[in-house]
Amino acid sequence: MCAGMAGRAAAAPRGPGGPWLCLLVALALDVVRVDCEQDPLDPVYLPAALELLDAPEHFRVQQVDRYPPANSSLGSRSETFLLLQPWPRAQPLLRASYPPFATQQVVPPRVTEPHQRPVPWDVRAVSVEAAVTPAEPHARVLFHLKGQDWPPGPGSLPCARLHAIHPAGTAHRACHFQPSLGACVVELEFPSHWFSQGSSTRAELAYTLEPAAEGSGGCGPGGEEDAREQALPVGSVELRPRTPPRYQEVPLDEAVTLRVPDVPVRPGQLFSATLLLRHNFTASVLTLRIKVKKGLHVTAARPAQPSLWTAKLDRFKASKHHTTLITCHRAGPTGPDSSSPLELSEFLSVDFLVENGTSGGVAVTRPVTWQLEYPGQAPEAEKDKMVWEILVSERDIRALVPLAKAEELVNTAPLTGEPQRVPVRLVTVDGGGALVEVTEHIGCESANTQVLQVSETCDAVFVAGKESQGARGVRVDFWWRRLRASLRLTVWAPLLPLRIELTDTTLEQVRGWRVPGPAEGVPEPEAPAVAEEAERRARGCRLQYQRAGVRFLVPFAAHPLDGGRRLTYLLGPDWLLDVSHLVAPHARVQDPRVASLEGGRVLVGREPGVTSIEVRSPLSDSILGEQALAVTDDKVSVLELRVQPVMGISLALSRGTAHPGEVTATCWAQSAFPAPKQEVALSLWLSFSDRTLAPAELYDHHDLGLSVSAEEPGAILPAEERGALLGVVVSGAGAEGLPLHVALHPPEPCRRGRHRVPLASGTAWLGLPPAPTLAPALPSSPARSSPATEASTGRKRWEAGGVGDRGGVRGKFELAEEEAGGEEEEEEEAEEMVPAPQRVTDLELGMYALLGIFCLAILIFLVNGVVFVLRYQRKEPPDGAADPASPQPHNWVWLGTDQEELSRQLDRQSPGLPKGEGGCPCESGGGGEALTLAQAPSGGTAGSSSTLARKEAGGRRKRVEFVTFAPAPPAQPPEEPVGAPAVQSILVAGEEDIRWVCEDMGLKDPEELRSYMERIRGSS
């Protein structure tokens, strides 16, 4: 339609009124184009409540400028939730409710990679060994349950089964999660033939979760047939055919280096430390002083080359320390050596023995002090000592592993001012699969305090709200004794400012709708005692403005650790998290006189003005987000009520793919044909004339006067108040659909007059509507149409059960009689209480605009034609015979410089004139006067020509020719000949001027000139 209007604009009429018409057409097309390009109506949905139960941390999310398809119907609603923490204790529930109906479902388990299979537990798997050897052919994997706490008891936790897949075969073993830590370790021994291939190979590790065996709480044998397809990956481990040494080298001075084992030692274990000498060492005597604490002894000192060096061992015991002095002498000269002088060679081995029961079951360190002495060495050099600590433990500690309850953290501290914490526990993994928690002598440090911080006791990582950014894989280091471990987490930070979404940014006054309460900003006047009840009620009512829903949204993102600018968004760049429940306590309206925020979710207009909603930071005075809004005194009407009957709620849940915790819930209203005594709730949407929609739940139920009527008598009854905004009970129904007519009134205290015309109305069908014929007429007033049944609800009538014995249900005949009697008594002013206009579609608006343009074009065309006719009727030349002296209508002026050309034109106009009458009879070279009159033949249009010319000596002057046309007289005098011309003379100059002209033209005879001038004067 819009394209057709634009095409017709090119065919606009042209003429004197054409530009104005084109301007009007352009303006009209602009209005129509704006209407055609206007945004569609707001999305509508079933205003049912969707909420998650037993989910500790979750958010509602939505895509930018996108609404789910289910949110375009009055009978359905869809929302997406993001669950951040797993839920080992119990599966969370999602509840959908629209009073008095409700339903709930268990949220389906998470979907895990790589096979997109749901799993009921969120497990973190940590491989302790990166490589195994024939001496230690065990692969150890720690499994940890993330998330909240779980119920006690061994039977409530599952088993984890580890699968090792090697080209030479497969191996399997399971472990059961410990309730105290929510973790377990699988120690899987590889067969010896896996190491016999002569080179390093790799084995792939994967795991499966299975329920614990009944009774004992252990793990069953498990199946191995589908391990490759169903198992979740852990990683790989390297199989080395030889055992590499594990030691640490520490230099004692420039020539001597100490090599010590880099593994914890067990009580009663014998281990050795080796001294290395450079080849350029030239000293012949070397003394090594070793000081150890009780529980550790030096048993022997053995030279690596007894032929070159000898060693003497002396022991000295004290109360706290034992000192051992080893003196080495060179026994013989060193032979020639072609190796580099900086290379190291073994020089001396020192054997140590750890006493039994010295650690008490806890890993402790035993310091060993090493000091080298040379003959003739300076006394200050003896102070140079090296302390080496030996980790002694009764347990075979293999690794230190930090256990965190979550691996990602959403930093909401800048929005709420409350720190976000993730608890961390440190455990050690022993040989044999034992787990022991470590609580003392722990150290920790965060690699980036601008993203994540760690507590002083190393039992939690947290964000306090001062962090400037987020990151993926931020590292936190932990250490205990000589063991170190790292924990990597992802921190999502909000990208400010907040996005404040209003369903309507301009709130207008609703026509004819007043609600109880004094006017905003105006003190309520005192009512006199003798005032009428209606006046007191009207004085206690105020204007009703539109309301709008409010949502606070923000995207969360993680910054790259390398300082780049490319952000990683939670869920995606077009997803926003709803943080309304977090920032609502910190949101306010700048000017509370203009609008107010109720419950942090509903914006209520109070009086005309412009203001804004702002959210201030709880940690500082900065503004986190702001949105402008306006409240105007422009009036809008409620066009219609959109009604959806609800006789039950259906719910469906689905998992998303953008995040493992994404869950989408969709609920539908059940609106089948009701059974007798079936309770029906009615969902209402208000459609305003400014093309906005709002659910009735945005408005206070005390401000809504709603009435329901049915065409069949006794078909409906009022329902009990159980939270529903409007509900009825179907007492009886026929075989066809039952229409319900719903009307909206102002509340009872603010209704003007007895007529009480509704603000708007709507119709809902219970069951299947009839075949599409003429739509049923909407009731414009309660006293309309045939006998029916009506159930009215209001602030007072509904609580009191209505008027009469029916408790709020009465026939329309009775209501019509009451209103008819009321009209005779009183007819109050109801200028605002007018029936709501019917909705006009876009097609009708366009057709009306096009019809108006055509009517305007026709009117302009008619006016233009009338003006044209009147103008040119007045321009007809006058009758020359009747009024010879009347002014001539046209004067033609010719400018030229050629006298001969002028003469030829005069000759053509009067070819038959006598010489004495038609031209200048005299010629003169010096001067003279001449006057020429040219006459046209009779019977046509006669004309007279006068030429005034002047010629100076030696030059040429411009010639000016005046030609005047006049109509011939209607009849010639009888005495004139038929061919005589009709001459109308015009006095073109005085006597002196004519004389001057003739002289210039060469006239010589004065008598001739005088007679010619007298003849001219006589004719004029």
State which amino acid sits at residue 867: V
Lowest mean pLDDT among 443-452, 597-606, 957-966: 957-966
> Tens of pLDDT along 586-644?
999 999 999 999 988 999 999 999 999 999 999 888 999 999 999 999 999 999 999 99
What separation in angstroms does the CA of 649 have from each of 56, 362, 737, 739, 964? 25, 60, 20, 21, 98
Please give the pLDDT value at position 995. 57
From 853, 672, 589, select the one nearest 13 (Cα to Cα).
853
User: Which of these, 176, 204, 186, lies nearest to 429 by C-alpha position?
Assistant: 186
Please, what is the average pLDDT of the chain? Answer: 75
pLDDT band at 822 (very low <50, low <70, confident <90, very high): very low
Instruction: Supply angle C-alpha 779, 780, 785, rounded to 5.
Output: 50
Closest residue by Cα to residue 651 from 79, 60, 109:
79
**Tens digits of per-residue pLDDT, 916-960?**
444 444 344 444 333 333 333 334 433 433 333 333 444 444 444
Torsion over CA: 275, 276, 278, 282 (sign):
positive
Per-residue confidence band for 901, with pLDDT thresholds at 50, 70 and 90? low
Hey, which residues does 700 pair with through a beta bridge?
none
Question: Is pLDDT of 830 > 50?
Answer: no
DSSP calls for 183-238:
EEEEEEEPPGGGGTTSS-EEEEEEEEEEPPPTTT--------TTHHHHPEEEEEEE
Among residues 743, 788, 742, which one has the least CA distance to residue 765?
A: 742
Question: Exposed, middle or buried: residue 616 (CB in 10 Å: 0-12, 13-18, 19+)?
Answer: middle
What pLDDT does 423 receive?
Answer: 92
* pLDDT cut 70: percent of the chain above it: 65
CA distance 837 to 167: 81
- Asked if residue 180 has pLDDT above 70, the reply is yes
Specify the DSSP class assigned to residue 662. E
Of 255-269, 734-748, 866-880, the least confident? 866-880
**Which among 464, 471, 492 is positioned nearest to 556, based on CA atoms?**
492
Most distant pair of Cα atoms in the chain: their distance: 178
Distance CA 784, CA 802 (A): 20
| Per-residue pLDDT reduced to its tens digit, 742-769 | 999 998 888 866 446 889 999 988 876 6
Pairwise CA distance, residues 638 & 608, whole Å: 19
Of residues 310 and 874, more confidently modeled? 310
Start-end of H helices in 573-655 = 580-583
Coil, strand or helix at 692: coil
Tokens of 934: 């040219």
Res 360 pLDDT > 80:
no
How many angstroms separate the CA atoms of 728 and 684, rounded?
14
- Do 184 and 143 form a contact (C-beta atoms < 8 A)? yes
- Nearby residues of 758 by Cβ (< 8 Å), 6 or more positions away: 707, 743, 744, 745, 779, 780, 781, 782, 835, 836
Backbone dihedral region for residue 804 (phi beyond 0: left; psi -120 to 50: alpha; all else: beta): left
Distance CA 812, CA 712 (A): 11
236: alpha, beta or left, given left = phi > 0 and alpha = psi -120 to 50?
A: beta
- Count of other CB atoms within 10 angstroms of residue 346: 13
**Confidence tier at 448 by pLDDT (50, 70, 90):** very high
Task: Give pLDDT, residue 398.
Answer: 86
Q: Which of 434, 425, 405 is nearest to 478 (CA)?
A: 425
pTM for the structure as a whole: 0.66
β-strands 110-112, 183-189: how paired?
unpaired
Q: Do residues 463 and 411 make contact, with C-beta atoms less than 8 angstroms apart?
A: yes
Q: If DSSP codes are grouped into helix, strand and coil, which group holds residue 464?
A: coil
